[in-house]
Amino acid sequence: MKVAIVTGGSRGIGRQVVRWLATEGFAVVVNYAANQDDADLAVKEVVEAGRRAIAVRADVADEVAVAALFDRAEQAYGGVDVVVHAAGRTVLAPIADLDLADLDDLLRVNVRGTFVVNQQAARRVRAGGAIINFSASAVALAAEGHGAYAASKGAVEAITLILARELRGRDVTVNTVAPGPTATDGMMDDRDDVAIAQLATQPPLQRLGTPEDIAEVVAFLAGPASRWVNGQVVRANGGIV
């Protein structure tokens, strides 16, 4: 039995990743930070489909909590084969105006959180497994207002490549998925119709991405067809960059 941990698995892209990995036969550990109801619903959906899943709360930037998350996965299912680190935070503001308290929180979740989760994954993922982080196409787009967010995701990309090299000989791949504008509930709720329409015109494919689009890329990177893809950033954005 293959086992996957999905951080941020209770909502948005993470929730769709949970669905896809469960469909691919993984037992899934759904990590969440605060919203237990959403996590329980994600688990219920998987279990009702005849698959295995549990929900485990953990702050991804807390090394003790993350170690306990991995312990729980090993206790429940015997090991860990895939780690999808989808948890993250978005803060958008011009560099001159950004509240430094917001910067500290952003870096704690996106940079320290990625480092802590990847540290445990590097120690525990079994041979033949995969570690999949989440960046954002904002790193390459370098749009105004995205300075702090893009910087945090640039750090994720650096961690990914270096960890891929450090796991030499382990038969564990490490890659990053960098979505473009994606129609998650959070994104749709934070923008008006005009802003959403403008975002949808950016890709040559002339639409927003969907959580399903991104989850399919993750499922590929988690599966056997991608074993020669390692240390890469897959920009799943419809051709924006």
Give the residue ranges of DSSP H helices in the chain. 12-23, 36-48, 63-77, 100-107, 113-124, 138-141, 147-166, 185-190, 193-200, 211-222
Q: How confident is the model at residue 189 (pLDDT cuts 50, 70, 90)?
A: low
- Alpha carbons 196 and 179: distance in angstroms, whole number: 16
Q: Is the pLDDT of residue 194 over 90?
A: no
Q: Is the pTM of this model over 0.85?
A: yes
Residues 149, 172, 211, 237: which is the catalytic one? Answer: 149
**What rounded mean pLDDT belongs to the chain?**
94
Percent of the chain with pLDDT over 70: 97
Percent of the chain with pLDDT over 90: 84
Task: Look at residue 49 and give its three-state secondary structure.
Answer: coil
Q: Is the pLDDT of residue 125 over 80?
A: yes
Query: Which amino acid, residue 122?
Result: A
The pLDDT of residue 182 is: 81
The pLDDT of residue 205 is: 86
The pLDDT of residue 188 is: 58
Kindly give, in sequence order, each residue whose CB lies less than 8 Å from that of residue 39, ignoring residues fewer than 6 positions away: 9, 10, 30, 31, 32, 55, 57
Give the CATH architecture of domain 3-234: 3-Layer(aba) Sandwich (3.40)
Q: State which H helix or E strand residue 212 sits in.
A: helix 211-222
149 annotated active-site: yes
Task: Kindly list the domain boundaries of the chain, sorted by start residue.
Answer: 3-234
Written as six digits, the tokens of 32 are 């969440």
- Alpha carbons 57 and 204: distance in angstroms, whole number: 39
pLDDT digits (tens, 9 = 90+) for 74-99: 999 999 999 999 999 999 999 999 99
